[in-house]
Amino acid sequence: MNMVEVIARGAVRRAHDLPCPFCGADPPLAAKIAGRFVVGCENDDCAANPQVSGSSLTETWEKWNRRAARGS
């Protein structure tokens, strides 16, 4: 099972979170992978497919939003 499949199966969408700063895909997807929570862009056309990870889902979304707001 590759990363994309895991994210699609474990998807938790949160409409109020920020879109990808690179491609504008909205919203990104969250998944729990190997005990870590990962939020990332799932868009096949995205040049960067940024991801963040954390020990809780809330922490991970907060990291995503900080990154998305910074635009890098």
Minimum CB distance to Zn ion, residue 20 (Å): 3
Q: Which residues bind Zn ion (CB under 5 A)?
A: 20, 22-23, 25, 41, 43, 46
Q: How far apart are CA 9 and CA 1, in angstroms?
A: 11
Nearer CB in complex with Zn ion: 22/62: 22
Minimum distance of Zn ion from residue 57's CB (angstroms): 20
Q: How far is the CB of 43 from Zn ion (least distance, A)?
A: 5
Residues 6+ apart with CB under 8 A from 48: 20, 22, 23, 41
Contact 39, 47 (CB under 8 A): no
